[in-house]
A and B are shown apart, each in its own frame.
Chain A
């Protein structure tokens, strides 16, 4: 059995709820205190490292423009954990590849993390949730097709070992 540690990495230091319209998308970043934010990131990283020490696997996710999850780039945290942890499987669930314009970059990031962690990466892909279309400025229509096309390109990049390959997707 595998047990996974996961935290959504919320930012809890919000003003009174009646002073802003929404916790997502249009919450002004003036409410974010970078000093408290730094402490939070350090705490979350310590938690993941502690999970690694206790024999748990770790899982990270990402969301955009929301105080419920202040990780807009899970691969960056994974890059830290790839070095700071020693044994845990490192699951990203996942990269919202329908919203990333360059899937080859995602393939590069994931390959790098897998190598730094000496093969401990578990790489998941997601389409993302509807309110993230605005932060990425991506048309939600055909998002599923875009996800699968990006998936196919990333897998082809990982599994082609004989030099350049062709991929002229939509």
Chain B
């Protein structure tokens, strides 16, 4: 499994990730810029990640890969599958961004960079009390978080969280695809997931109750069940 994290950063510290590694050989790269990693000078767009992970799959020479992407990482996963599915067995998109189904005057994806932290917590979490408490963090932790945010913004700023052309390319995805969505996702609501599903041939959508944009944090066991059920097919 190739796991591509979202704007919330690497997941290796989460119980969900530990449970995954019991079932899969998980390749979980950290996007350059996250977790205090440097950003290569030529990087300035999401497609830099797409080519990075196409190269990674080639370098590892892996086959039958389950590609699973979260939020921004789901966008990377969708783009990667558009480019080349020959190394992929299945694709899973968890609360992914990457498309813009509505017109220019409608906001399809909530502005997580412009909204104040309490408002963002409500967008991200079914239970906002589970949001990380900035006041309780050390200076080092906040510094890492700020750098994560810079990298997140660099990859997704403009066009905001999407590639206007992706919707015209998604038909190229020929591997079985499952979209997994938090019922309470306030960043990209379930209606967005429905639009995404309709653009990928044969894709299915499952909804996780009592989860927001980060079901790997709020409902790890339910998420894991969907992953195991889909990959067992």
Contact = CB atoms under 8 A, between A and B. Distances in A.
Interface stretch (A55-63, A138-146, A161-169): A161-169
A150 B114 CA distance: 23
A169 B105 CA distance: 8
Nearest to A149: B104
Nearest to B100: A168
B69 to A, nearest CB: 22
A170 B159 CA distance: 9
Contacts, number: 17
B106 interface: yes
A166 B104 CA distance: 7
Contacts of A168: 100, 104, 107, 159-160
Dominant SS among interface residues on chain B: loop
Contacts of B104: 166-170
B38 interface: no
Interface string A76-120: 000000000000000000000000000000000000000000000
Interface in B91-138: 100, 104-107, 114
B71 to A, nearest CB: 18
Interface string A128-170: 0000000000000000000000000000100000001111111
B164 interface: yes
B189 to A, nearest CB: 15
Nearest to A169: B104
Interface string B135-165: 0000000000000000000000001100010
Contacts of B164: 170
B197 to A, nearest CB: 21
Contacts of B114: 164
Nearest to A156: B105
Contacts of A156: 105
Nearest to A153: B104
Interface in B151-198: 159-160, 164
Contacts of B159: 168
B73 to A, nearest CB: 22
A116 B107 CA distance: 33
17 contacts: A156-B105, A164-B114, A165-B105, A166-B104, A166-B105, A166-B106, A166-B107, A167-B104, A167-B105, A168-B100, A168-B104, A168-B107, A168-B159, A168-B160, A169-B104, A170-B104, A170-B164
Given A166-B105, A166-B106, 5 more contacts: A165-B105, A166-B104, A166-B107, A167-B104, A169-B104
Interface of A: 156, 164-170
Closest 8 CB pairs of A and B: A166-B107, A169-B104, A168-B104, A167-B104, A166-B105, A166-B106, A167-B105, A168-B159
